[in-house]
Every structure is written in structure tokens, then in C-alpha cells.
Amino acid sequence: MPLAVSLYGAVASLEDGPGLLNLAWTLDERRWLSVDLDALVTRELEAEAREGLTFVHRYFVKDPYGDDVLGPSVAAYFGREGWSTRVTCGAGVVSLLHALALLSDGRPVLFTGDCYPDLPHWLSRRAELRAAVDARDVDPEGASLVFLERPSLVGDGFRDLGAIAELCVRAARHGAVVAIDESNANYYPPAFSAAHLLPDADNLVVIRGFSKAYQLGGLRLAYCLAARELTERLRAVVPPLLASSLSLRLGREVLGLGDVAASLRERITANKAETRRLLEAAGLPDVLPSSQFLPYLFLRHDAADSLAFLERQRIRGKLHPYWSAATRDVACMFRLSAPLSAERMDLLRGRLEVARRA
């Protein structure tokens, strides 16, 4: 069972290039945020230098999980000042998912819906993997952990917070933890997050990062939220001091801005619909859009004619691996990211229209 990062080795270019429109991922989304993040990062780095590298020189042995630094900004972001939820930081979401594999303690883990393949990979030799396609079908009896991604990659099956709250209640009856990967939830308003259930769900873990929407994956910063007692269990498996002091400083300032993605959501919605129309008009069948505010569209990875057509037009996508709840194995779709800038959308439109006339 491969790790997701292993597929990047097959991607020839990470950027657009001469004659190449690279839609393997979003290269132009940060400009649609309501704040200039490049300017913010530059400003904070300059302030860090002026202040004598105060964060760089600090070794957070008294705040080894970043709760003191990041906690107040997280609470403010969700409009929950004064809540008792604890913050545990890691080096990107992947590090926290790896720790979750240890939290299972060898007991069965129930995956609800499709998910990123890495956690099933780490668990495959430690625990029995169970699967439910829909949250309403979950039977947590005997499971140590119930895991899902929210928003789901395709569709909006886990959008209803009420259904998630009920899932937490059912899992609690069997002593199971509910863990939700909200890596993609940065595209959504803060009100979407299952973090709002934490005051009433002491068996819930919510994991978030800075890669999606913010395009700040290079910070290698992520955080999980949980009640105090569950946090102690998490910190028994999450190594301390994973997050660098400088990343914590930058993450604190980014979260302090609140919801900066409203304009990005509008742009994604419009341009994803336009991209789908262009692809279908060019003769590509079965184009499947991702969940509402995610910038992706998918084709079957074995759609040879469609993929060959895109390659001829010098339009690049990437294989997107996922662990399928239906087959309990790793599968792939071919992913395209909708171009968000007018310039890149014009390139896509031009290439597809020329091909259609040919």
C-alpha cells in the first residue's frame, strides 16, 4: 500500500512551463484570498529579525505542543474564546495522522468514506481495517477509532454537523474515538468545522493544517483539537516539539486573520464549473467535480483516450490516490485543478477550443 507522496516522483514538473499548463495542483489560488499572505509572511520574518530572532532562539520545552502560542488564535478563528479545548501541534497533518495509527493500540479502525491512503497504510500491519461508505452506516462496536475526512473528496456526505455529533455519541457508547481530518476544510468557512462540536464531544479529534487554500505547506505546521482528557492520550503518541517556533509564530498570525477564503470560494465555484464545461465540450466524458469548495475535477485514471487527449494539448494533471471504503484498497483518480487566474483559464480555454475545432 503506497504512501501518497510516492506518486509525486512521476510528476515531471511542479510548475507551468513553456507550452505546459500544469493543472496537477492549484498554482494560483493564494491571490484570491482576502489578504496578501506573502506580505504577511515577509512582515513577520522582518519583525522576527528586528526583535533579535526571539522565536528562532526560543526552545519551547514549556509549551512542547504549541498550545500556548497557537491556542488563542485557534479559539479566536472558530469564535470560541475561552473554550477548554486543547491544541496539539505537529509537523504537518501527515505527522498527526501517523500518530493516530498508534492511538489505535492494535484494535480495529473503522474508516467512514474514502480517505487519503497514508493512515490505512500505517495501520495495515497494526490493526484490522473496517469500512463504511456512509456515516449513517457506521457501527463502531469493537473499534478503537472511527476516521473520516471532512469535507469528503467527492460529494458532501459528511457536511451535516448534526450527523457528525450523532456519530460521536454512537462511538462514545463503544469507547471509540472519532478522528476527523479537516485538511481540506480551509476552503470552507470556520462555521463548517466539526471543531464546534468539541465542547460536547469528549471523544472527538479534529485535525487541520495550512497547506490547502493558504498554500503554506512549507511551514510544516498542523494542529489537532480535542478535549483535555483525550489530549493527554494524543500527547502520549504525538512526539513533542514537532512544530518549529518560527512556524508557530507565522501560523498564529495567519489564523488571527480569521476567514480569508470567501473570495477564493467564489472563484473556485465559478472556475470549477467553467473548467468542467470546457472539458465536456471538448469531448471528455464523465468529468466528476470534487466537493463544493474544493478546486479539483476528476477523471477515471484508466480513461486512456481522455488522458492522451490532455497530454497532446500539454495539459498536465496528476494521479490522486485514495483508500476506497468500497473496495478496502488503494485506488486512483486522475485529478485536474481548475485554473483560477484569468490568464491560466484563457490558456485552458484556448487549448481546448483549438482541439475541438481540429
Q: What is the distance of C-alpha 26 from the center of its chain?
A: 13
How high is the pLDDT of residue 218?
94
Q: Which residues pair with 222 in a beta bridge?
A: 90, 209
Spatial distance between the Cα atoms of 47 and 56, rounded to a whole number of angstroms: 12
Higher pLDDT, 16 or 12: 16
Spatial distance between the Cα atoms of 62 and 51, rounded to a whole number of angstroms: 21
pLDDT at 136 over 80: no
Strand order across the beta sheet in which 318-324 lies: 288-289, 296-300, 329-337, 318-324
How high is the pLDDT of residue 237?
96
How high is the pLDDT of residue 155?
86
Q: What is the mean pLDDT of the segment spanning 203-232? A: 96
Spatial distance between the Cα atoms of 218 and 30, rounded to a whole number of angstroms: 14
Q: Torsions phi, psi of 124, nearest 5?
A: -60, -25
pLDDT at 13 over 80: no
How high is the pLDDT of residue 17?
82
Spatial distance between the Cα atoms of 224 and 90, rounded to a whole number of angstroms: 8
Q: What is the mean pLDDT of the segment spanning 313-333? A: 92
- Residue 358 burial by Cβ neighbours in a 10 Å radius (0-12, 13-18, 19+): exposed
Contact in structure between 97 and 207 (CB atoms under 8 Å): yes
- Pull the grid cell for residue 27: 498554482
- Residue 7 burial by Cβ neighbours in a 10 Å radius (0-12, 13-18, 19+): middle
Confidence of residue 331 (pLDDT cuts 50, 70, 90): very high
How high is the pLDDT of residue 358?
60
Distances (CA, A) of 228 to 13, 182, 206, 323: 44, 20, 13, 31
How high is the pLDDT of residue 157?
80
How high is the pLDDT of residue 231?
97
Contact in structure between 255 and 70 (CB atoms under 8 Å): yes
pLDDT at 353 over 70: yes
Q: What is the mean pLDDT of the segment spanning 163-171? A: 94
Q: How many residues in the chain?
A: 358
Least confident range of 104-108, 194-198, 200-204, 292-296: 104-108
Coil vs helix vs strand at 322: strand
pTM of the model: 0.94
H-only helix segments in 226-303: 228-235, 245-256, 262-281
Confidence of residue 357 (pLDDT cuts 50, 70, 90): low
Mean pLDDT of the chain: 93
Identify whether 18 is preceded by a cis peptide bond (ω within 30 of 0): no
Count the neighbouring beta carbons within 10 Å of the beta carbon of residue 19: 9
Q: What is the distance of C-alpha 246 from the center of its chain?
A: 22
Q: Torsions phi, psi of 257, nearest 5?
A: -75, -15
Question: What is the per-residue pLDDT across 231-259, written as a single tens digit (0 to 9) for each?
Answer: 999 999 999 999 999 999 999 999 999 99
Coil vs helix vs strand at 318: strand
Q: What is the DSSP letter of 190?
A: G
- Residue 49 burial by Cβ neighbours in a 10 Å radius (0-12, 13-18, 19+): exposed
Coil vs helix vs strand at 62: coil
Question: What is the per-residue pLDDT across 281-311, written as a single tens digit (0 to 9) for each?
Answer: 999 988 999 999 999 999 998 888 999 999 9
| Percentage of residues in the chain having pLDDT higher than 90 | 80
Amino acid letter for position 37: L
Count the neighbouring beta carbons within 10 Å of the beta carbon of residue 37: 19
| Percentage of residues in the chain having pLDDT higher than 70 | 98
Q: Which residues pair with 207 in a beta bridge?
A: 181, 224
Distances (CA, A) of 172 to 99, 126, 145, 256: 21, 22, 10, 33
Please report which helix (H) or strand (E) contains residue 353, including its range: helix 342-357
Question: What is the per-residue pLDDT across 30-76, written as a single tens digit (0 to 9) for each?
Answer: 999 999 999 999 999 999 999 999 999 999 999 999 999 999 999 99
- Residue 40 burial by Cβ neighbours in a 10 Å radius (0-12, 13-18, 19+): middle
How high is the pLDDT of residue 258?
96
Question: What is the per-residue pLDDT across 103-118, written as a single tens digit (0 to 9) for each?
Answer: 988 899 999 999 999 9
How high is the pLDDT of residue 156?
83
